[in-house]
A and B are shown apart, each in its own frame.
Chain A
């Protein structure tokens, strides 16, 4: 089973120039469509262990570009269904692999996008998530005991999409654990208590607080300053001080600032330039940095970033769940955001 079977016959797009100052819309559509189409694509084969997330990245990017119908809904849903573990209720990245919190969220995101949550056993998913909460409020990624705030985010995001956050997990304890990871120096978060602040984990924790309606616990001024200092002269954002800029960190910082109502603390214009410069004008797709190899992961965060920045021709994306806003509205979910103070 690979991505090929999800792709409907394409009808090609208009020709575009190789200009990185403009969004190479159709090239990206093609890039995602063709992802995994080539037989014996080495990268594709070697990344099967995260296939479910790969599908989420592709599906979401295409949906943001209004091109979701290029993928075959039915076969994707079938694939996702086959990945649900009958005993634990969690989702594996692909058949033959074990279920995990990370892929469970991706699966639920994909199904929510296709309005197909009724096709699976949602109670089993809830059981899987609830079963992984620990007495201190943290979450394991799977039964093997890794603790990380990424999993706290996955847990509440999954339950939010399923509208089952009430009376399932202990939200108070979960919040307490996440807040125990908040660093005094910069107001940011790491993966566990004491861990250094990191933009990816900050996104998870800010997103977590947004979903649990606890944004007031953040020191927005302190954290906002650290986040806006991630912007480098190139316009791109890095994930930690003195690191290189990266399209995916650009997303994580940008979405966190948006949730915190502090998007205006960085230069949107320069960030947009940076993201566009990371397009591969030959093959389509976005890479982590200008001139590097594109991949599907950075392609979603490139497109998603541009959407948050209000780029024309893209649907609005929700900063907390990294999904098209219309789906969040359809589900009637309202992740919290701080007003621009």
Chain B
């Protein structure tokens, strides 16, 4: 249904097409009727297989016909296995009956017979594989054909997985973006135990041929973290490899900055690696004699599952139960009577993380606060690479001041190098992006607000009004990180 151009045909052509369609429809209906009749009679035979082929070659998306084929295949296999078993039992009997002298020739016959049966079995699988191959020629995106291929291979203990990897190479030459083929490739290369290094080389070759290939960058992103692990988990992969990848992706982007294939890969490289999903990291905490509020860096499904304790030298108080205040489940509240003695040292303990609490001079409440997003520091080599890249981007902006990709990338590079000193400049790039990429102005505005808020929160602990007053940065249309502000008594705009 996709991508068919509507062309005004001549009357002649239309007539011709119509006639052909009527014939095709007649053929389809007759075949379907016959198939359903045979199925109801449980005639899962060669004729049935033949009938389904005729329709599937034209329309491989008819799931039911593949189901019928699978029923036929299972039936055939069962029959073959039955024959094999019968032969075996007969042979055992024969062995018992016959004298020693005849045994040898019987053994040979037995081997032959087994061979023939094994071949018959393989030819059943082969027929199915060939059919799916033909159907994939008709429609390379047919979910059903791909699945039938997988199913057939899974049935066959002697499946040739290596051949399937070769088939993927072939198909990816025709269409390097077919995600079915890439999915299938991951599946069969695992079955064929293709080493990940080899897969990475394949990816590199594909990118060399055409770097406008998101599928290939994606495949790469799956392989690298395993092949080049990063010990600290704060980068997607080892710094050494990261440097190489950054260079490759920047080369692609400089060759064609309008091609978005590598953008996401690059931003991922510049990011901070896999976020640990399970841990609940405390961002802010406040506690009054009658309730406690706790904000987390990222959302956590159910805070009550964790042990949250208020610890002082004298006592340890369990805070329970917690209720989510916002839908993101980052801000939680616990209504409980809490005895606070401001002169004591208090700690908050969330599942083993211990944070020292301070006292709000205003209302004697206890609080803890750490600003969001501290960039993870990087090695000298990586920093040097980032700086080279930033310089290249800035050079390029001299030639192409409106280049969307370059504006965004340089802003991201700046923040990866030094958030503080580049703060204003990175925001000015976003402001420019609002103009040059107006379709996404909402995104850039939100991102700008986010960065602004991150900066304001980072500076807040050093301000004289901390923690009583938080001064909202100007022109904020939205409030990201609002849950960090539970520590403040007053928020001025």
Chain A contacts to B: CB under 8 angstroms? 40, 42, 45-46, 49-50, 92, 96-98, 100, 142, 144-146, 148, 179, 183-186, 190-192, 194-198, 214-217, 219, 221, 224-226, 228-229, 231, 233, 235, 240-244, 246, 262, 264-267, 270, 280, 287-289, 291-293, 295, 297-298, 336, 338-341
Contacts and interface: CB of A to CB of B under 8 A. Distances in A.
Interface string B2-40: 111110000000000000011011001100100010000
13 contacts: A96-B32, A144-B147, A146-B143, A183-B221, A185-B217, A196-B179, A214-B301, A216-B328, A226-B264, A231-B439, A235-B439, A287-B6, A288-B2
B409 interface: no
| Residue with the highest number of chain A CB atoms closer than 10 Å, among B3, B329, B443 | B443
Contacts of B66: 144
B109 interface: no
Contact of A288 (B3, B22, B24): B3
A144 B67 contact: yes
Given A100-B63, A195-B183, A341-B328, A266 B301 contact: no
B174 to A, nearest CB: 16
Contacts of A338: 327-328
Given A45-B29, A198-B179, A295 B439 contact: no
Interface in B322-366: 326-330
Contacts of B28: 45-46
A204 B326 CA distance: 24
B301 to A, nearest CB: 7
B284 to A, nearest CB: 17
Contact of A242 (B182, B260, B301): B260
Interface residues of B, number: 69
B415 interface: no
Interface string B268-283: 1000001101000000
Contact of B327 (A42, A97, A336): A336
Interface in B150-172: 151
A267 B268 contact: no
B23 to A, nearest CB: 10
A184 B443 contact: no
Contacts of A228: 439-440, 442-443
Contacts of B214: 196, 240-242
A240 B22 CA distance: 37
Contacts of B432: none
B402 interface: no
A194 B220 CA distance: 11
A95 to B, nearest CB: 9
Nearest to A195: B183
Interface string B399-428: 000000000000000000000000000000
B59 interface: yes
| Residue with the highest number of chain B CB atoms closer than 10 Å, among A235, A242, A243, A244 | A242
A185 B439 contact: no
B222 interface: yes
Contacts of A242: 177, 212, 214, 259-261
B62 interface: yes
Contact of A244 (B3, B440, B442): B3
Q: Is the interface of A mostly helix, strand, loop or mixed?
A: loop
Contacts of B36: 96
A292 B5 contact: yes
Contacts, number: 170
A293 B179 contact: no
A289 B6 CA distance: 10
B6 A265 contact: no
A270 B437 CA distance: 13
| Residue with the highest number of chain A CB atoms closer than 10 Å, among B177, B225, B327, B479 | B327
Contacts of A191: 179, 183
Nearest to B147: A146
B299 interface: yes
B438 A184 contact: no
B327 A196 contact: no
Contacts of A289: 3
Nearest to B22: A40
Nearest to B180: A191
Contacts of B67: 98, 142, 144
Contact of B442 (A42, A49, A264): A264
A76 B487 CA distance: 59
Nearest to B330: A216
Nearest to A188: B264
Interface string B58-74: 01011110110010000
A215 B326 CA distance: 12
A190 to B, nearest CB: 7
A185 B264 contact: yes
Contact of A291 (B5, B32, B440): B5
Contacts of B64: 49, 92, 96-98
Interface in B279-300: 299-300
B274 A241 contact: no
State the 7 A-B residue pairs at the shortest beta-carbon distance, nearest first. A216-B299, A264-B442, A42-B21, A185-B268, A265-B443, A97-B64, A241-B214
B62 A291 contact: no
B254 interface: no
B185 to A, nearest CB: 10
B264 A270 contact: no
